[in-house]
Amino acid sequence: MEKQFLIDEFKLGESWRIFKIIGEFVEGVEALNEIGPAVSIFGSARTSSDDPIYKTAEKIAAMFVKNKFAVITGGGGGIMEAANKGAAEAGGKSIGLNIVLPREQIPNPYSNIKVEFNYFFIRKVMFIKYATAYIIMPGGLGTLDEFFEAATLIQTQRIKPLPIILVGSDYWSGLIDWLKNQLLKTLKISPDDMDIFQVMDSPEEIIKTVKRFVII
């Protein structure tokens, strides 16, 4: 395996690495440029297949495919596997953007379009560039990273607004309360910033919300 700390290895005299970065961008764009409307689905890689959240992710992905959306995930296990499985078994485009990591990230077998990345930032560009919505299932630090990055890009008007949906009110209620009681109350964010995302439980409501936003 190549050195893990890729950013640290980017030193003076290693400008050749820029070509590898460009190559990853080109590969991603060529693989995804014709997929049509798509949703990016995020969630924990540690979710087991017998967890109700896994089944929910599978159902949501299948419903998106039946409504003419492709499904993009990080290509690994857990929620990513569930979403790729749901999309593939529904006969749709099931896209896995895998990242090379020292642990956890083993590609799942359900993505029928696969792209592998060494650099997180390139992979994250692909998630946002080709998504018409972000569906955030229960997850850990990586999931939170994707959520807050998309919210920040919308807040700062670096990308057009798109639906960001947090799935599971029980799971996300503590975070929402913290945002309101700490960030909003102390004026670290504005009231409008809380409208950037929504919390939902119903797969049907999620699909309906995204379809209202996107014309297929």
Q: What is the pLDDT of residues 182-191, one digit of tens each?
A: 999 999 999 9
Exposed e or buried b for every residue in 59-72, given b needs 16+ CB within 10 A? bbbbbbbebebbbb
pLDDT at position 59 over 80: yes
Segment 162-180, tens digit of pLDDT = 999 999 999 999 999 999 9
Instruction: Give Cα 146 distance to the centre of its chain.
Output: 6
Fold for domain 21-170+199-211? Rossmann fold (3.40.50)
Give this prediction's pTM.
Answer: 0.91
DSSP 182: I
Reading phi first (left if > 0) and then psi (alpha if -120 to 50, else beta), residue 13 is in: left
Distance CA 166, CA 136 (A): 5
**Would you state the pLDDT for residue 101?**
74
Nearest to 119 by CA among 11, 12, 20: 20
DSSP 12: T
Contact (Cβ atoms closer than 8 angstroms) between residue 76 and residue 108: yes
